[in-house]
Structure 1
Amino acid sequence: MKFVDEAEIRVEAGDGGNGCVGFRREKYIPKGGPDGGDAGDGGSVYLVATENVNTLVDFRFHSVHRAERGQNGMGQQRTGKKGDDIYVPVPPGTEVHDKKTQEKLGELTKVGETLLVAQGGFHGLGNTRYKSSINRAPQKASSGTKGEHRILQLELTLIADVGLLGMPNAGKSSLIRAVSSAKPRVADYPFTTLVPNLGVVSVDERRSFVIADIPGVIEGAAEGAGLGLQFLKHLARTKLLMHLVDVAPYDEMDSPVEAARKIINEVEKWSEDLAGKPRWLILNKIDKLDSAEQEVRCQAIIDELQWQAPVYQISALKSEGTRALMFDIMAFLEEQTALAKLEAEDEPE
């Protein structure tokens, strides 16, 4: 399915129904009095995070969502039926803005979460409500109020534990294919990844994490060059970044060190928060080097970058070193989860 990370939709809540003006007309009761009933409220529009929805593509074909109008009140003090609410399914990770006011209405991060985006109109009152000691036969009923109408801007941010960073053709797609069941396109030329890919990495029967592969970032991405800028935001919620570097690039215009520095520079310009996330250096494609050259080149890259964080040497294509890397990532994520839990427990209520 094609990935779409932004969509514009119109939501229209139902109007409240109108109250009824009515009087009892029964045999032997010539002056039965008012009996007009209240109307029903208009239906509201909600967004709901749904597990089996992972893109916003459907909104390109179904962009208007209307809730039901409330039923009018009826005689014999019968109340009109409330309009049915509608629940519009969206992927977890969807951020919602009112396009007109630019107000952020909310964010749906977990499956099952709901967000009210258009409130239904309030019901009108029947003439029974206006009866009083000085007005025994009111001819008055109120109309229902209008339901809210909004144009929403939806923006999807992928929710992943681990994000892959790297220049085009660094081997990100090959790595996600090697460690998960995701099958992104792989080829011997750059820019084969045009849309983000998510893969679930299962280290054993009970432990797993989600890894995200985004289109390669190029120099100038923070100013809008290439595809990386459009998708860097998808790494915002990750707990760990893996910076893949091709140790044996087919095009020597950029050395591995220069390529790595360009990525670091773009990430820092894009977001300080993103730049501050834990980041591991993954030296990929070691299968293209003999063992002696591998150690010399990898150490030279580490020294030039002055890299202090964990460093791994792998071949994504041949799955060399990938299993140990995935287990270390799982251990890191479990440690982060435990620390977050302790911090939450220590916070004063």
Structure 2
Amino acid sequence: MDVVVVGASGFVGQELVRVLARHPVFEPVAFQAHQRAGRRLGELVPGLSVDLAERPIEPIDPRAVAAELAFCALPHGHSGGIIRELRARGVRVVDLGADLRLADEATWRRWYGDDHPAPELLGSAVVGVAEHVRTELASAQVWAVPGCYVTATVLAAKPLIDAGLARRDLVVVDAISGVTGAGSAATETTHFVNVAEGVRAYALGGHRHTPEMRSLLGVPVRFTPHLGPYSRGIAATITLPVADATVDADSVRDVLARAYGTSPFVEVRETPPSTREVRGSNRAVLAATVDDEVGVIVATSVIDNLGKGAAQHAVQGANLMVGVDEVLGLEGLGVWP
């Protein structure tokens, strides 16, 4: 199946190139980008085969897309108009940007500060983590892939809320991400000397992934992100109020284990995982327990922000959209040590 990557020059786009290069069904026929158009793929993504490395990055032009499926990996505000044109041409879309994740234009404007580029498309996409929307993806024309922090959080929290183990009250999320989560453009905050050997919180007044978490979980969420001194990976700690005194560590782990018992990319365990375990992969590893003294569930979730948090998650969902095994092209990915 012919596919195109729109936004191939950023870190997420580069990860898409890396994964699609070995996919047995998806055949990338074009790579488009606003930035770095005219350069060779091999200049951005080391380790590609010689023929793929020589492929050019073309300027973004949805009218030039001759493919059945498009992966859009663009900053917020840039993909809405392009998706409108792609859909008019009958192209199905996996959108890794933020433009279609929220259904309400006023909420978009509040969090992103601008008018929405394609308000008529709001509410038209399937939104959610692939493990939670498998049935909907089979017929989806557009899938809005959740943000990286959102994916890590929702995988751990949603089954506990839906099962009634957690009260529908304030959920507190603290998460740390590697620097690739800030994008490929160098800034003062991502400069080596400002990131190395330290961790800092940011967006204390509210992060744009917060309304996504609230929408997918259906509860109030207080989210604080942190920037860590490493390239890729997210570790999220989620604190949820227990529904009642009968909720214990065994019941929490049992709910998570049953929720993901047939999921090939999600592992549930007793001990907290490390981001190094999921580096370069589409895996998520969850652990949870109960703090009886204060009456809360404490869950932790680790993913690779470029893998399960973006590009590899996108390929997993695209597999489901076209009716092939969701693990196709994602087997064996990951790096250790």
- What TM-score results when the alignment is normalised by the length of structure 2? 0.29
Q: Kindly name which structure, 1 or 2, has the bigger radius of gyration based on alpha carbons.
A: 1
More helix by share: 2
- What TM-score results when the alignment is normalised by the length of structure 1? 0.28
